[in-house]
Each structure stands twice: as structure tokens, then as C-alpha cells.
Amino acid sequence: MYSSPREFIENVKIKNPEQFEFHQAVTEVVESIWPLYQKDLRYQEANILERIIEPERMITFRITWTNDKGQVKVNRGYRIQMNSAIGPYKGGIRFHPTVNLSILKFLAFEQVFKNSLTTLPMGGGKGGSDFDPKGKSEAEIMRFCQNFMIELQRHIGSNTDVPAGDIGVGGREIGYMYGMYKKIRNEFTGALTGKALNWGGSLIRPEATGYGCTYFAEEMLKTRNDTLKGKIVAISGSGNVAQHTVEKVNQLGGKVVTLSDSDGTIYDKNGIDPDKLAFVFDLKNHKRGRIKEYAKKFNGAEYFAGKRPWGIKCQVALPCATQNEISCEDAETLVKNGCFCVTEGANMPTEPKGVEVFLKNKILYAPGKAANAGGVATSGFEMSQNSLRLSWTREEVDQRLYCIMKSIHATCVKYGRDGDFINYVNGANIGGFVKVADAMVDQGAI
């Protein structure tokens, strides 16, 4: 038995060397659940803590593909099947040059708690490749996706493991992967989510993570008798999550003033209104261009090369790009500039020292595993619709999404209330843990 979270985490570091993002994700959860774990003998007897951090299965594989010049290329593919205590593994696929075992293990680990918080029967997993889609032709993307699926198809299925999109994997890539899955397996089942509407996708799935994150921010503000209406909002990223977050914030009356990509940030003091957002949708999803084009197109907008949005004055910050994109200094700047609500659309975008700054200043701060769970929840709805062979209306899916975000918020409040303050980190970690840990106890030592 470990005497402290620190001792436990030291052991995790020894067993999983160099996996810094994974250590970070485990540390946050273990620190939150430690008091509960100490009190509950059932968990200790079942050794839940050591079991929950160990993936049930990790698959790595070679992806060989040919580029347009006829050159043979090799990438590494992964699927981490982290935990299936409450349902089939579920989690996205990421294509990005930074993808490695540490990043995917952290994402798979977070996914276990996130999926549990949704109340839907989904275990946790994550996968991807170090393939960089940037600068690749349409034909190269298709060939890569097909070759990725030639191996992955052996390990997934609608009752086993149901991947979805993530960074670098959107509707186009899901389409190419599903095509190959169907061809090899000779079955039309809900083995992937994020599918297009005319072949098994769900309405609102593309919007879900961004909409859900915004609903969550609105719930957080409500606890202080406030709303998004009239708030100045800084958003990072300009991909799927960022775009739909801007859309929903606009609908709720907030004013979004920033977007970014890995090259830099745009600042539009006049606000990214629906017409300007339509330009971003086209730029990013069809032309696959860079966000700096925005500043060339719209008067009054500025572009800051190599910068993140956190130096811009805002009241609400919604990080929607990637992990560790808010440093301790960024967090201090945000708070100093009057930001009092940070709701994470991305996974683990705030470094641990940044989280400390938010908690110390008692601002509203919600981690991604709670605030961005709307994406996977709607993937869960897609799975349900596929099983029923029915499609729900836009209103029905949106309403269900809204209810789930409210319920996740209520869970965070239940487990995270600390006097007048709501510690959403503890709330999300404990709320997500209990359901999975109880299921693991019920199912015996497996």
C-alpha cells in the first residue's frame, strides 16, 4: 500500500519512463481521489488504483503507404484500449506528428473518466498516428487512412472498441477509414463515430464538443448568477472544437475575439460574428488554410505570429487547441487581465502550475474531461442510433447533449463543492472515478 499520492506517482514514473503527459494526467486524478480511496477498503482490496492506470491492451503497428511521388513512407499507429469496465472502449483517433505513447496514454486515461461522467455505457480508449496530414494531397490522406484501417480493423468493432475523430481526424478521414473497415469486415455497423449523416452519422456530432463546452461554461457562470451574454471570450485553436464553440458562444450573446493555430493568433476586437465564422469554416475545412488569412480578410483584425491568445484581455477563456497550451505565466496573465472563467474544450490544455493559479484565485475553472465530454456523449448517441437503425432530429440530439452537460456539471458540483467554491477538478475526477471503480470491483480481479 502506498503512503501518499507522491509515492504512488513516483512508482508510475519508474514504470512508465519518459511518459510525461501520462504522468501529468495520472497525478491530477490520483491527487483528487486519494482521500476517497483511503476511506474505501473495497477499492484498496481490489487494487483499483494500480489497475486503473494500466491499459487493458496497447496495440502499436506499422503503417506503410505510398506518397504521390511513388515513395514508400512509414508511420507508427497506435490504439490504447484503456478500460472497458463500463462499456466498449471509446475514444478518438489523432493524426499529428507529436503523437506518441505518452500522449495517447494520457488521452486514453482521461477518456475513461470523461466517458464515465457522460452517464453513458462507454469505456475509454484512444489511438492515432504520428502521421502529419498538413501539406498532404487528398489522395495521400485517403491512402494513409486506408492503410491505417487495414491493421486497426482487427481490433475494433461496434461492441468492442468504437473510435472517433480528434486532432487531424475529421469527417473526411473518418469516411476513408470507415470505407476500408466496411470493405474488409463486410459489415455495416457503428464501428466508428463521426460518420457523415447519409451513412450513419448523427446530427450535431460535429458541433457537439464545442456546443457542449459552451453549455458547460454557461452552467458554471450560472453558479455565480452570471451568463455568457456580453462577455469577451478568448478561444484558441481554429479546428472542429474551436469553430463550434465560437458558433454557440455567439448564439448565447458572447463576443469571441481570438482564434489561433500552431502558427499564431488572430485578435478581432470587433468580434468573430457568424459571417466571419463562415469564412473560418471555409478556410479551415475546405481550403485547409492558415488562420493568419483571417487578419488579411477583415479590417481591424490583427495577427500575432507565434503567439497564443492568452495575452488578450478577456473575461472567459475557452482553450480548444491542444494539451499544455496554457502555461503558469499564461494563467497568471489571464487572471490579472480579469478572466474569471476557464472552460476547457481541449484535453488537458492547462499545465499543472496553471491549474494551481486558477484554483488559488478561485476562478471558475473546469477541466476538459468534464467540459469537452459533449463530443463523446454525442458519439454515444450516434452508437445508440446505429443500434436502433434510426436517426434522431437535430433538436432531440441537441436537447440530450444539453441535458448531459448539465448532468456532468451537477456531478462536478456534488463531488467538488468546497464551501462556497466548486473545485471542478476534484468534482470531475471523483465523479468519473467512482462509477468505473465500482464496476471494476463488481467484475472481480480481471
H helices of 257-367, in order, are 274-281, 292-297, 328-336, 352-360
Residues 229-268 that bind ligand NDP (CB under 6 A): 237-242, 261-263
Q: How far is the CB of 53 from ligand NDP (least distance, A)?
A: 20
Q: How far is the CB of 320 from ligand NDP (least distance, A)?
A: 6
Q: Segment near ligand NDP (CB under 6 A), from 69-77, 274-282, 340-348, 355-363? A: 340-348
Please state, in angstroms and rounded to a whole number, the distance separating the CA atoms of residues 81 and 20: 19
Please state, in angstroms and rounded to a whole number, the distance separating the CA atoms of residues 295 and 308: 15
Q: Does residue 99 touch ligand NDP according to CB under 6 A? A: no
- Among the listed residues 190, 345, 367, 380, the single contact to ligand NDP using CB under 6 A: 345
Per annotation, catalytic residue among 90, 105, 114, 126: 126
Shortest-Cβ-distance residue relative to ligand NDP: 239
CA dist 295 → 272, 298, 312 (Å): 11, 6, 16
- Residue pair 119/407 in contact (Cβ under 8 Å)? The answer is yes
Residue whose CB is less far from ligand NDP, 32 or 378: 378
**β-pair partners for 227:** none
- Among the listed residues 166, 219, 268, 398, the single contact to ligand NDP using CB under 6 A: 166
- Residue pair 109/123 in contact (Cβ under 8 Å)? The answer is no
User: What does the per-residue mask of binding to ligand NDP show for 41-60, with x meaning CB under 6 A?
Assistant: --------------------
Sign of CA dihedral 399, 124, 24, 436: positive
126 belongs to the catalytic site: yes
In the block, residue with C-alpha cell 489497475: 51
Number of residues that bind ligand NDP (CB under 6 A): 24
Q: How far is the CB of 25 from ligand NDP (least distance, A)?
A: 12
User: What does the per-residue mask of binding to ligand NDP show for 300-329, with x meaning CB under 6 A?
Assistant: --------------------xxx--x----
Residue whose CB is less far from ligand NDP, 146 or 322: 322
Please state, in angstroms and rounded to a whole number, the distance separating the CA atoms of residues 368 and 355: 12
Residue whose CB is less far from ligand NDP, 49 or 372: 372
Residue whose CB is less far from ligand NDP, 63 or 266: 266
Q: How far is the CB of 230 from ligand NDP (least distance, A)?
A: 26
- Residue pair 327/246 in contact (Cβ under 8 Å)? The answer is no
DSSP letter at 293? H
Residue-by-residue DSSP string for 69-99: TS-EEEEEEEEEEEE-SSSSEEEEEEE-TT-
Helix (H) or strand (E) holding 258: strand 255-261
Q: How far is the CB of 358 from ligand NDP (least distance, A)?
A: 18
Please state, in angstroms and rounded to a whole number, the distance separating the CA atoms of residues 96 and 408: 29
Residue whose CB is less far from ligand NDP, 150 or 346: 346
Residue whose CB is less far from ligand NDP, 87 or 170: 170
Helix (H) or strand (E) holding 48: helix 48-52
In the block, residue with C-alpha cell 463576443: 255
Q: How many residues does the chain have?
A: 446
**β-pair partners for 424:** none
Residues 201-230 that bind ligand NDP (CB under 6 A): 209
Residues 167-196 that bind ligand NDP (CB under 6 A): 167-168, 170
Residue whose CB is less far from ligand NDP, 210 or 416: 210
Amino acid identity, residue 379?
A: S
Q: Segment near ligand NDP (CB under 6 A), from 20-28, 64-72, 166-174, 195-203? A: 166-174
CA 92 to chain CA mean position, Å: 8
User: Where does this chain bind ligand NDP (CB under 6 A)?
Assistant: 165-168, 170, 209, 237-242, 261-263, 320-322, 325, 345-347, 372, 375
- Residues involved in catalysis: 126
